[in-house]
């Protein structure tokens, strides 16, 4: 509880040599809060209304692409939530 956790998403291209633009989203987990400004990667933004991090990987990007963001775990955790 109260610790900062880092989530990392590795995106790779196993298809052809070129890609179109790619949108990637990751919902902030329950019992955590997004750490402002922590999202990294192409076009990284936090959508507070949907409580998720969004990325826009441009067409022709070089792969792999690493995306990341941080959250702070609730402190205390709600009753019934194990650590």
Mean pLDDT of 66-76: 93
Q: Phi first, then psi: what are they for 76, rounded to 5°?
A: -80, 160
Per-residue pLDDT at 33: 95
Asked if 44 contacts 67 with a C-beta cutoff of 8 angstroms, the reply is yes
User: Above 80 in pLDDT, residue 17?
Assistant: no
Q: Are strands 65-73 and 52-57 parallel, antiparallel or unpaired?
A: unpaired
Query: Which value, in Å, is the radius of gyration of the alpha carbons in the chain?
Result: 15
The predicted pLDDT at position 44 comes to 98
Beta-carbon contacts of residue 49 (< 8 Å; ≥ 6 apart): none
pLDDT class of 83 with cuts at 50, 70, 90: low
Tell how far CA 36 is from the center of its chain: 12
């Amino acid at each position: 509880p109260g610790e900062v956790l880092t989530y990392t998403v590795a995106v790779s291209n196993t298809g052809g040599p070129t890609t179109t633009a790619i949108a990637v989203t990751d919902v902030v987990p329950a019992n955590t809060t997004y750490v402002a400004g922590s999202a990294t990667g192409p076009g990284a933004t936090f959508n507070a209304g949907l409580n998720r991090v969004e990325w826009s990987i441009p067409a022709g990007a070089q792969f792999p692409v690493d995306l990341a963001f941080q959250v702070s775990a609730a402190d205390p955790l709600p009753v019934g939530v194990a650590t």
